């Protein structure tokens, strides 16, 4: 086809540019999928418009309901996590909120682990409470406490493995079993495992979806972290293996008007091929740094689930390290800085780091550090945590050797033992 397109029949070039007849040849194939951007999606006829279905991904109706770009990302995320259906939302927190809004109603109760991602607790204490949905916090390390707190109003149990800041790894299969026994939905914040450290839909390793396999009902994932990998995109996903539950979440998603931008979806699609390699690299670096901390007396307690003595280490081994020595963990760990050091000294240590930047989130190329005030985050100081000031490290993709030199200089300067 020549470029002598028949646009001259219009009174003005604008019309010609908008209704331009050229269509590029089909069959373009390249490593990266195309980016489809749309609010409006065309229908060839009114009849087609009336009958088109988007809920089963068989067609397209409106940008908010899905495009080739978002469908592709959803399917790849299902493969990553072992799920069957996926909904994309604009942030990890939006994934947690969507789950709550989709499955809870006035009079219901939601149970949340006491070490959960803070904003999930804030959502329960804010909007959910205003909607007449109550919540309670349970001890993530005590399955009996979870059982005790489940009552006839409990509709949803949140799980997190490990807890966001204090990094306790719970007995996840046992928690899920107890939810199953009581017929309560369980949703996992799967951001740490990322679909790589363990399979949330196959907790016993006997085949996802198989007869008798143990699975969470819902996996919520902050794609902002490892799936993005860049520290530059906010996105979340809600993955299920149950068509009816997915539809319930999908309809709520539609009514709330949640959607993600095509360019952001494309960024995550571009990062997914390297997620397993990056996860392993972040893991290796985090363990090198954690091992460094472990022999330094400034560290009163190391919180990294792959280290002996860390809270829930045995549960991490059972779930993630079935073939000993092969287990994976995210590049995230916390150190309880000995109580002899003041908050001001710990702050100065964080400020004194050069390669580690001070900032929230994780999963990107740059190492991050944040001091946390545990006493303001928990119902009570957990018995398994030593006194002190907690500092969380998220390792980026820098060399472990350079990061250790950075830790060394900041410890020498700001946390003297003498
Ligand atoms: C970061 C994070 C979230 C929220 O993700 P955003 O995209 O920042 O909203 C939720 N859960 C966990 C465990 C996280 O680390």
- Which residue(s) pair with 391 in the sheet? 335, 371
Query: Does 17 reside within a domain?
Result: no
Distance 26 CA to ligand 1 centre (A): 39
CA distances to 52, 96, 191, 253, 270 from 219, rounded to whole Å, are 29, 9, 9, 15, 22
Residues 349 and 203 in one domain: no
User: Within this chain, do residues 185 and 157 fall inside the same structural domain, yes or no?
Assistant: yes
pLDDT level of residue 282 (50, 70, 90 thresholds): very high
- Cα 162 to ligand 1 centroid, rounded to whole Å: 13
| Minimum-distance ligand 1 atom for the alpha carbon of 235 | 7
**Across all residues in the chain, what is the average pLDDT?**
95
- 48 exposure class (CB count in 10 Å sphere: 0-12, 13-18, 19+): exposed
CB 178 within 8 A of CB 171: no
Considering 272, 299, 328, which residue would you say is the last residue of a domain?
Answer: 272
Last residue of a domain, one of 248, 272, 296: 272
Report CA(191)–ligand 1 centroid distance (Å): 7
Pocket test residue of 88, 95, 117, 362 for ligand 1, highest count of atoms within 8 A of CB:
117
Model confidence, pTM: 0.95
Residue 316 above 70 pLDDT?
yes
Residue 385 lies inside a defined structural domain of this protein: yes
**Predicted confidence (pLDDT) per residue in 321-334, tens digit:** 999 999 999 999 99
Q: Could you check whether the bond before residue 162 is cis, i.e. omega within 30 degrees of 0?
A: yes
In a domain, 10, yes or no: no
Could you give the number of structural domains in the chain? 2
Mutation probe of ligand 1 site: the residue of 188, 220, 261, 361 with most atoms within 8 A of C-beta: 361
406 in a domain, yes or no?
Answer: yes
Q: Is residue 1 very low, low, confident or very high in pLDDT (cuts 50, 70, 90)? A: very low
Whether the predicted pLDDT of 188 surpasses 50: yes
Cα separation of 195 and 80, whole Å?
5
Give the mean pLDDT of 355-384: 92
**CB-facing half-sphere around the CA of 356: CA atoms within 13 A:** 30
Instruction: Say if 20 falls within a structural domain.
Output: no
Range of the structural domain that residue 281 is part of? 274-414
Q: In terms of domains, do 151 and 259 share one?
A: yes
Q: Which residues line ligand 1 (CB under 6 A)?
A: 91-93, 117, 164, 189, 191, 222, 224-225, 234, 236, 361
Segment 42-78, tens digit of pLDDT: 999 999 999 998 888 899 999 999 999 999 999 999 9
* Mutate-to-test residue for ligand 1 from 94, 98, 191, 230, highest number of ligand atoms within 8 A of CB: 191
Helices assigned H by DSSP within 299-352: 313-320, 343-352
């Amino acid at each position: 086809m020549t470029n002598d397109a028949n646009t001259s029949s219009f009174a003005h070039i604008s019309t010609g540019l908008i209704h331009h007849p050229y269509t590029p040849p089909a069959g373009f194939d390249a490593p990266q999928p195309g980016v489809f951007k749309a609010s409006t999606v065309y229908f060839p006829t009114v009849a087609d418009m009336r009958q088109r279905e988007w809920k089963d991904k068989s067609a397209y109706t409106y940008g908010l309901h899905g495009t080739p770009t978002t469908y592709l990302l959803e399917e790849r995320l299902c493969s990553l996590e072992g799920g069957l259906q996926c909904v994309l939302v604009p942030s990890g927190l939006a994934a947690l909120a969507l789950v709550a809004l989709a499955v809870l109603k006035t009079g219901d109760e939601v149970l949340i682990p006491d070490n959960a991602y803070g904003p999930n607790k804030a959502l329960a204490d804010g909007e959910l409470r205003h909607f007449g949905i109550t919540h309670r916090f349970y001890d993530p390390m005590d399955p009996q406490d979870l059982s005790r707190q489940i009552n006839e109003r409990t509709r949803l149990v949140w799980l997190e493995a490990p807890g966001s800041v204090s990094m306790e790894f719970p007995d996840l299969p046992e928690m899920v079993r107890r939810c199953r026994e009581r017929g309560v939905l369980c949703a996992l914040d799967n951001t740490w495992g990322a679909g790589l450290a363990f399979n949330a839909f196959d907790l016993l390793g006997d085949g996802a979806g198989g007869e008798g396999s143990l699975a969470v009902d819902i996996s919520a994932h902050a794609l902002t972290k490892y799936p993005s990998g860049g520290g530059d995109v906010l996105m979340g996903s809600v993955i299920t293996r149950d068509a009816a539950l997915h539809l319930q979440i999908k309809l709520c998603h539609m009514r709330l008007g949640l959607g993600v931008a095509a360019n952001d979806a494309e960024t995550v699609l571009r990062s997914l091929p390297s997620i397993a390699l990056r996860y392993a690299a972040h893991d290796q670096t985090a363990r090198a740094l954690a091992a460094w901390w472990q022999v330094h007396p400034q560290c009163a307690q190391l919180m990294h689930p792959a280290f002996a003595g860390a809270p829930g280490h045995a549960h991490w081994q059972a779930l993630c390290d079935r073939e000993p020595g092969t287990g994976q963990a995210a590049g995230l760990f916390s150190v309880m800085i000995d109580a002899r050091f003041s908050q001001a000294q710990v702050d100065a240590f964080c400020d004194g780091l050069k390669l580690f930047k001070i900032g929230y989130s994780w999963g990107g190329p740059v190492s991050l550090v944040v001091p946390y005030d545990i006493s303001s985050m928990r119902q009570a100081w957990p018995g398994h945590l030593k006194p002190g000031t907690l500092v969380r490290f998220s390792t980026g993709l820098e060399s472990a050797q350079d990061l250790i030199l950075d830790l060394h200089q900041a410890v020498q300067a700001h946390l003297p033992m003498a």
